[in-house]
Amino acid sequence: MVIFQYSTDITKTSRENCNYRLDLEGHKGKMRLQMRTTVKSSRVLFTCLVKVGLPMIMSKEKNRGRKSSNSLEYVLEGCLNAESVHGNEAEHGRAGLEGSIWSHEAAIRSGLVHAKGRMTETTDKEKKPPLNGRRALPSNNSNDEENEVPEMEAFGLIPRGFNPKDYLRVVDIHMFKEPHEINKQQHHTDKYYNPKLIVRRGQPFQIQIDFNRPYRPETDQFWLEYLIGRYPQQNKGTYIPILVRDVLKPGEWGAKITHRENNSIRLSIMSSATCIIGKFRLYVAVWTPFGILRTQRNSATDTYILFNPWCQQDAVYLDDEREREEYVLNDVGIVFHGNINEIKLRSWSYGQFEENILDACLFLMDKAELELSGRGNPIKICRVASAVINSRDDNGVIAGSWDNTYTYGVPPSAWTGSVDILLEYYSSKQPVRYGQCWVFAGVFNTFLRCLGIPARLVTNYSSAHDNNANLQLDFFLDDEGKVDTKLTKDSVWNYHCWNEAWMTRPDLPVGFGGWQVVDGTPQETSDGMYRCGPASVQAIKHGHVCFQFDAPFVYAEVNSDIVYLRRAKNGTQVIENIDTTHVGQLIVTKEVGRDGMMEITEEYKFQEGSKEERLALETAVMYGVKKQTIQDTSYQPQTDVDMEFQVQKAVLGSDFKVTITFRNKTHNNYTVTTYLSGNIVFYTGVTKNEFKKHSFSAKLEPYSTGAFDVVIKSSEYLSDLLDQASFHFFVTARINETGKILAIQKATVLEIPALRIKTQGAMVAGKEMSVTVEFTNPLKQTLENVTLRLEGPGVLRTMKKEFRQIPANSTLVWEVKCIPNRPGLRKLIASLNCDALRHVYGELNVQIQKP
């Protein structure tokens, strides 16, 4: 709001209220005020004060050609000066302000406002706003919002006859923003489907400026201005004036003329290696004796600035070119799922270069309300992104669902990539239904790679979800040795996917930079929100769980013990068995440059039982992680009899068997009573229902081995099977002669038939080709309401086809025509989904030739 104060000296006795209409117009230091009143005034003196308190005097003009004697017009003469308003010209980067009233926000943030307002006489009876001892600074957390920048900033009164055309003027600006041109090639941004210039920070880029005449450095003076957000400030890094110098300093803002020809100059511009990530607006400002002339707002000169893993001064610098190609530029990845015994993989399209994805990722930071000044820090970006990826607190990107009911959305297993999810959220601003851990991780990976942060998707097999954070998963047994599902609250996920992001950690001691765990899956709250990380992988390995963020939770995911407890008759809990190796058995990610699996377990934990592992545990306990050790209890491990458990690999819809093997290591005869419980479970380890119960007794001769088979029939599990065809078997065995209990658990996943993808025709960029997807129904029932999805970055956008029915043992064929637009090795990814059958995938590598 523009504030005015005024006084009146009226000769007549009438004291009727006066209404004044205020018009601000033009860029030449004049403001016209039209006053209408019902009384005749002999003298009216107005003193106009803007919020900052600078007086401006209005002089009376004659009422030219007006019939009404009570209509007077006043003209404001004079201009504001930046120093008189702000007191610090360098801080705000303004040499002068146009002759116009400044709004309160603009006076603070240096954003000129052209406004029209109304001014009315006030009375003491009107309510005044309460006093506030703090200056209300508006938040600056949106990349999309803009301020208005004047094309002319006058230094004072502008003389008559001033013509800006007499001075150096900018005619055009060439950004060299095409994929084949120098900027995108050198900055590794040529894959982005975006018409604007995209560069990486801390690395020079080129632009060309065409003037109306040859540039004369001895008399002409110009500079560049990069702005981001609605309230640009130089001390916040949101307003960046760049003067032309002879030398560019590495990692600092600067500009240098590299070539001059006729009316054109070419500039090499260096951005700061710590600057804000986002979309900047570019203006070219030219100095004249009477003010500053600027280029008009032109969205074609907008410049996206991203993180730069190729720049040594950048916090995300990665020194291996093959890893940069994989963790920044690869737009397709691998998700490892299944379980520790049946490792499965599927491809996931990250699509970080696809159209509008960059804008969608920048919007996520706006959604998280991350201050623009903090967007140069990858730690802050990862922290807020881990919360906004899920929808639990802030209406974020993905709504999670683990109940096997997806009526009002897309089942998690149906997604083939991140692009559709991000674009839908960017368009609707509402959470996309539905996701599970690999979906959260896939979208998070797209976000990180799109902004230039090296990232990879990680799978932890047998991942602990420890509800009481004591590094111990408690499984309670009843008197017969069966697992009591009512008392057992902890769970072991078959697998859990999270992300690692590469960055320095200046907030931690030396040595804890590098890969950082970040997780967008909503599991537990951190500082009141569902988020996790960034947590240093090195800190987790060495037990330094005191370092932020959320290291204790991740440490528990890979290091917890499974403890089998039985309630004694006196109410105490007796430990029957402890498994120290089941959790975090295998941690993997995609191999660099290939689609294979790379094990990274040793990056998270030392070998079980080693001196280093014990030291890491002692360190974690010292920093507050509580872990009950074997020495704290009366537990004595059972050594007389060993028990092993194997599950036969089987295809969905077929029978299979499980084998329990005992080995008697003593000279005694033993009788073992065995209980087997087969459960249909979610991949998170949570039981849906028990579908198989079996018990038997076995006699063990001294120093003998006995194997016992149990058959699992398809009719026992098909009707209740969940989307990942996952089972969990608990086997407990009581040695009758000693009363000791053996316990073991194992997860298994059935094999699901894959989709077959074929291509026909020449695979050349810009020419039509044909893609065929085939699937044969393996079940003895008709599949209904089947949905097929197909996508391939650089080949075709996601396509979807629905089929009402696929009869038993019949084959479906779907043919798609497409025109690939990017040459090179590309990947086609397909998925099939229906209520009876999910997690059906197919993929095909195709080599697209140049035209």
The angle formed by the CA atoms of residues 381, 384 and 389, to the nearest 5 degrees, is 110
**Could you give the CA distance from residue 123 to residue 264 in angstroms, rounded to a whole number?**
60
Sheet containing strand 472-477, edge to edge, reads 472-477, 561-567, 573-579
Q: What residues have CB less than 8 Å from 81, skipping those under 6 apart?
A: 96, 97, 155, 156
**CA distance between the termini of the chain:** 59
**Residue with structure tokens 């020809």?**
261
546 assigned to active site: no
The backbone region for 736, taken as left when phi is positive above 0, alpha when psi lies in -120 to 50, beta otherwise, is alpha
Residue ranges in 119-249 assigned as alpha helix (H): 182-186
Pairing of strands 116-120, 264-270: unpaired
**Could you give the CA distance from residue 316 to residue 307 in angstroms, rounded to a whole number?**
7
- What type of residue is 666? T
**Residue with structure tokens 């692009």?**
419
Four-residue CA torsion sign, 278, 209, 207, 240: negative
SS3 annotation, 602-652 = HHHCCCCCCHHHHHHHHHHHHCCCCCCCHHHCCCCCCCCEEEEEEECCCEC
The answer to whether 559 is a known ligand-binding residue is yes
Sheet containing strand 491-503, edge to edge, reads 532-536, 514-519, 491-503, 455-465, 586-590, 597-599
- What type of residue is 152? M
The answer to whether 355 is a known ligand-binding residue is no
Of 32, 34, 20, 36, give the one whose Cα is nearest residue 68. 36
**Could you give the CA distance from residue 104 to residue 96 in angstroms, rounded to a whole number?**
17
Token pair of 562 as six digits? 């499974």
The answer to whether 603 is a known ligand-binding residue is no
**Could you give the CA distance from residue 253 to residue 273 in angstroms, rounded to a whole number?**
9
**Could you give the CA distance from residue 799 to residue 522 in angstroms, rounded to a whole number?**
29
437 assigned to active site: yes
* % helix, strand, coil for the chain, step of 5: 15, 40, 45
**Could you give the CA distance from residue 843 to residue 830 in angstroms, rounded to a whole number?**
6
Could you say which of 314, 420, 519, 550 is catalytic? 519
If you ran DSSP here, which 8-state letter would residue 91 be given? H
Could you say which of 187, 465, 496, 544 is catalytic? 496
User: What are all long-range contacts of 118-127, with beta carbons under 8 Å and residues at least 24 apart?
Assistant: 118/19, 118/20, 118/21, 118/22, 119/4, 119/6, 119/20, 119/21, 119/22, 119/33, 120/17, 120/18, 120/19, 120/20, 121/17, 121/18, 121/19, 121/20
478 assigned to active site: no
Could you say which of 18, 437, 497, 834 is catalytic? 437
**Could you give the CA distance from residue 561 to residue 462 in angstroms, rounded to a whole number?**
11
What DSSP string runs through 685-730? S-EEEEEEEEEEEEEE-TT-EEEEEEEE-HHHHGGG--TT-EEEEE
Token pair of 74 as six digits? 């006043």
**Residue with structure tokens 């705000």?**
92
Residue-level length of the chain? 851
- What type of residue is 737? E
Neighbours of 261 (CB within 10 A): 9
What 3-state class would DSSP assign to 325?
helix
**Residue with structure tokens 């005869």?**
669
- What type of residue is 523? Q
The answer to whether 146 is a known ligand-binding residue is no
Residue list for the binding site for Ca(2+): 559, 561, 608, 613
Residue list for the binding site: 559, 561, 608, 613
**Residues assigned a catalytic role:** 437, 496, 519
